[in-house]
Every structure is written in C-alpha cells, then in structure tokens.
Amino acid sequence: MEIFKLNVATLLVATFFMIEISCLKMVENKILAKKLEKISFSLLGVYIFIMCLYILGFILASNSVEQLMKYIEYTHKFYEHIYIFFCLLFIELIYFIKYREFEALKALILKFAIYFGIVFIIMKG
C-alpha cells in the first residue's frame, strides 16, 4: 500500500511539473520566463534521476523476499524527494513578487495550495 501511495504521489509530481512548465507562458517578462523554464527543466531532470534510482533499487532489492521487505520499509522515508519540488515554488514566488507578475502569482499560489494539499493527504492517508 505504501508503494502505491508513493507511486500516486510520484505521478502527481510529474503532472505538476508538466503543468508548471506549460504555465510559464503566462509570464509576460520573457527573460524571467526563460530563467523559470531552465529551473523547471533542471528540477525535472533531478526528479527523473531520483525516480530512476528508486526503480533500480526496487529491481535490485527484489532478488529475495527479505530484501524486498527491507526496501519497502525504506520507502517510508522516501517521501522526502517530493519536497525537492517545493523549492521550485519558493523560487518562483520570489521572482513573481520581485517582478510584480500578480496574475501569475495568484495562479502559482493556488497551484501550490492544491498540490500541497494532495501530497499531504496522500502521505497522511
């Protein structure tokens, strides 16, 4: 069940990143949009790398049932990778406040609240 929750959270993070990158078009300042796009793609690369390590670890740990059970216990601590992506939100908040992109700021705060709520429900549920 915990692995299922982790996979659902992972799917939500991937979906969030695709939405986040596509929403950069709403920023009128093109220089700012380019910087944010680079940050988004960099963090998306980090995310893909971490997920590849997760899948590789799962494959390697499944050689025996005991190792698989130990790995499943380890995944309880693996939720921290999701918080990497909150860094993107804070960086964008700083840029949006600095450049006074208020419409984009409202949308970003709404997305942050929805995303944080979903991840919190999955982790606690």
CA angle 79, 85, 91 (to 5 degrees): 145
Does the structure show a pLDDT above 70 at 125?
no
Mean pLDDT of the chain: 63
Q: For the whole model, what pTM was predicted?
A: 0.42
**Structure confidence at residue 94 (pLDDT):** 64
Does the structure show a pLDDT above 60 at 109?
yes
Asked, for residue 25, whether it belongs to a domain, the answer is: no
26 DSSP assignment: G
Query: What are the tens digits of pLDDT across the range 10-21?
Result: 666 666 666 666
Query: What kind and span of H or E run contains 17?
Result: helix 2-23
User: Among positive and negative, which fits the CA dihedral 36, 34, 94, 110?
Assistant: negative
Reported as a pLDDT band with limits 50, 70 and 90, residue 71 is low
Query: What are the tens digits of pLDDT across the range 22-53?
Result: 666 666 677 777 776 777 677 667 766 766 76
Asked, for residue 12, whether it belongs to a domain, the answer is: yes
Asked, for residue 48, whether it belongs to a domain, the answer is: yes
Asked, for residue 46, whether it belongs to a domain, the answer is: yes
Question: Token digits for 59?
Answer: 């494959």
Asked, for residue 114, whether it belongs to a domain, the answer is: yes
Which residue range is the domain that position 105 belongs to?
A: 2-20+35-124
Q: Which one of 9-18, 26-35, 59-68, 94-103 scores highest in mean pLDDT?
A: 26-35
For residue 9, count other CB atoms closer than 10 A to its CB: 19
Asked, for residue 26, whether it belongs to a domain, the answer is: no
CA distance 71 to 57: 8
Asked, for residue 30, whether it belongs to a domain, the answer is: no
Domain count, the chain: 1
Longest dimension (CA), the chain: 55
